[in-house]
Amino acid sequence: MQNPAIEYDYTVAKWFSYLAILFGIIGMGIGVWIAFELAFPELNYVAGQYTLFSRLRPIHTNTVAFGFTLSGIFATWYYVGQRVLKVSMAESKFLMAVGKLHFWLYFIGALLAVGSLLLRYTTSKEYAQFEWPFDIVVVLIWVLWGISIFGLIGIRREKTLYISMWYYIATFLGVAMLYLFNNMEVPTYLITGMGDPFHSVSMYAGTNDAMVQWWYGHNAVAFVFTVPIIAMIYYYLPKESGQPVYSYKLSLLSFWGLMFVYLWAGGHHLIYSTVPDWMQTMGSVFSVILILPSWGSALNMLLTMKGEWGQLKENPLIKFMVLASTFYMLSTLEGPIQSIKSVNALAHFTDWIPGHVHDGTLGWVGFMIIAAIMHMAPRFYKREIYSKKLLEMQFWLQTTGIVLYFSSMWIAGITQGMMWRAVDQYGNLAYSFIDTVTVLHPYYTLRAIGGLFYFTGLFMWAYNFYKTMTASKAIEKEPQFASPMAA
Amino acid sequence: MDIRLIQGVAYLGLIIFLTFVLYGYIMHLYRSEKKGKRNYEKYGKMALDDELTSPPVEPLEEHTKESR
């Protein structure tokens, strides 16, 4: 048997939690700023070229996806991985060193990559903007994570891998495959000896490039915003509520369903474009089928709370997680609807699309990471959560923010789509582009205010976490289920 | 034969095959439980009882400190 003196080592999990909070604030702060820029365009010119929407938007998306979310994923992996495999990182000096190296390379790499975007080094491929030297750093970071995952599995005590482990492994393999193929690029300086050493061109051309890009782009949503977040909820919701997963068999079935179906759905980003028609149809069909495995996981989570709904009233962390799975259901129904060709004709390129994305990212991804980190905080520091009231206030403020965000974008997007399509009796367009902008102004303002609510909630989260770490009441032993919190 | 017809038949065949695979997997899960070969639901405990000192749901017998 194991040495009882050994404890789980949360060093790396703590470090990544700090980064998740830091990158959350930076990434979403920029998001709020550019939302206000859309409503009040003069804000574009506050600091010359550096505050232009086009310069800041990729920094927002990359910082929230690959800064905030990935830090949350790594933080939870270094926590959940040890616990469900029943092995401590302290038992292997090698894995501890790999974990720490993983953190530092990621932190420094992320800062440099964000800096490169600010200095306008970009491949111009959405969510794959980093230029080739940074892509190499990303690959190294990913390899280190892989060593950590499979290394820990190699020294485990628990024979069977818990369902969360399957999802973390899928995240690792999925992103590795997608990132490598979509970032195949030729550094122009190395070939021609001319131009900027950072510059590169894609190895694919034209329509092929678009197809690879959206195979990557949509599956970045799959393997960064969905799969690892399911890994989290399958651990944290049962653990916090003290209820085992409603149906373990359903979790397995949903896993394979999701793995098979997701990879085919990216074509819906290219409906009514130059890619083959059958591919567009396939993208739509697979997107609709995707409802089944997505709802399989989400319902499994909600049913885990069966007979225990009283906890929803008592425990704000349960609130965050139940609403996260509800938003997961909402966005995995909304996405397939938008991918149906006739709906897409109205929705494509409108504000309904960022509205959809933010249901998922703010409601599902953000809430789950916030809850996971607050669940870990009392275990990290052997102290109770500093303030339940603050956590409750954060929940309601951020929920209101999300509702403002998606409702304003629904109205704005559908209005915009209808106005673009409107024609008079002779078939002439009824509106010019600026007509739509004028009509949409109030909704853009509402969206920015919604974002500001969510952003304010992040500071409440950071403060609560910091106070939990430094000033909260000490607890004697690690809580088994519900996290202790002071009123 | 027309390439479109071949594609169509192959596509339909694939869908039918995958449907069988899906239902086969569901049957496999339930049947292994019914026959007592495996109890999948007990794995849910792995998240709840996850202290370093708690006994594994299914221990890895060959696991020893020396092997690390």
pLDDT in tens, A354-410: 999 999 999 999 999 999 999 999 999 999 999 999 999 999 999 999 999 999 999
Compute the C-alpha angle A174/A202/A51, nearest 5°. 90
CB distance A430 to A424 below 8 Å: yes
Q: Measuring CA to CA, which residue among A11, A2, A172 is closest to residue A87?
A: A2
A311-324 per-position pLDDT tens digit = 999 999 999 999 99
Q: Is A239 in Cβ contact with B46 (below 8 Å)? A: no
* Helix, strand or coil, per DSSP, at residue A52: coil
Compute the C-alpha angle A262/A268/A269, nearest 5°. 110
Predicted TM-score (pTM) of the model is 0.95
Q: Is A238 in Cβ contact with B44 (below 8 Å)? A: yes
pLDDT reported for residue A4: 56
Average of per-residue pLDDT across A208-237: 96
Mean pLDDT of chain B: 87
Q: Measuring CA to CA, which residue among A21, A13, A46, A19 is closest to residue A455?
A: A21
Residue A1 has pLDDT above 70, yes or no: no
Mean pLDDT of chain A: 96
Residue A450 has pLDDT above 60, yes or no: yes
Q: How confident is the model at residue B65 (pLDDT cuts 50, 70, 90)?
A: very low
Residue A463 has pLDDT above 50, yes or no: yes
ipTM: 0.87
Of all residues in chain B, the percent with pLDDT exceeding 70 is 90
Residue A271 has pLDDT above 70, yes or no: yes
Which neighbouring-strand residues pair with A385? A485
Q: How confident is the model at residue A38 (pLDDT cuts 50, 70, 90)?
A: very high
Residue A472 has pLDDT above 90, yes or no: yes
Q: How confident is the model at residue B66 (pLDDT cuts 50, 70, 90)?
A: very low
CB distance A58 to A117 below 8 Å: yes
> In terms of CA atoms, which chain B residue is nearest residue A79?
B50
DSSP letter string, B2-62: -HHHHHHHHHHHHHHHHHHHHHHHHHHHHHHHHTTS--GGGGGHHHHS--TTSPPSSB-TT
| Token representation of residue B56 | 């594994």
Q: How confident is the model at residue A466 (pLDDT cuts 50, 70, 90)?
A: very high
Which neighbouring-strand residues pair with A423? A429
**Residues belonging to chain A with any Cβ–Cβ distance to chain B shorter than 8 Å:** 2-4, 6-8, 83-84, 86-88, 91-92, 155-160, 162-164, 234-235, 238-239, 242, 244-245, 247-249, 252-253, 256-257, 260, 478, 481
CB distance A260 to B22 below 8 Å: no
Q: Is A3 in Cβ contact with B65 (below 8 Å)? A: yes
Residue B68 has pLDDT above 70, yes or no: no
A185-187 and A200-202 strand pairing: antiparallel
User: How many angstroms separate the CA of residue A108 from the nearest CA in chain B?
Assistant: 31
pLDDT reported for residue A364: 98
Q: Which residues of A touch B67 (CB under 8 A)?
A: 155
Domain boundaries, chain B: 3-55
Average of per-residue pLDDT across A225-230: 98
Closest by Cβ to A4, choosing from B25, B30, B53: B53
> In terms of CA atoms, which chain B residue is nearest residue A95?
B68
> In terms of CA atoms, which chain B residue is nearest residue A250?
B26
**How far is the C-alpha of A34 from the C-alpha of A98, rounded, in Å?**
37
Report yes or no: B5 at the A interface, CB cutoff 8 Å.
Answer: no
Place of tokens 């959206």: A214
- H/E element, A55: helix A53-62
Q: Is B47 in Cβ contact with A158 (below 8 Å)? A: no
| Token representation of residue A143 | 């390899």
Report yes or no: B50 at the A interface, CB cutoff 8 Å.
Answer: yes
Average of per-residue pLDDT across A234-263: 96
pLDDT reported for residue B60: 84
Residue A3 has pLDDT above 80, yes or no: no
CB distance A283 to A267 below 8 Å: yes
CB distance A180 to A138 below 8 Å: no
Strands (E) in A333-475, as ranges, are none
**How far is the C-alpha of A309 from the C-alpha of A303, rounded, in Å?**
10
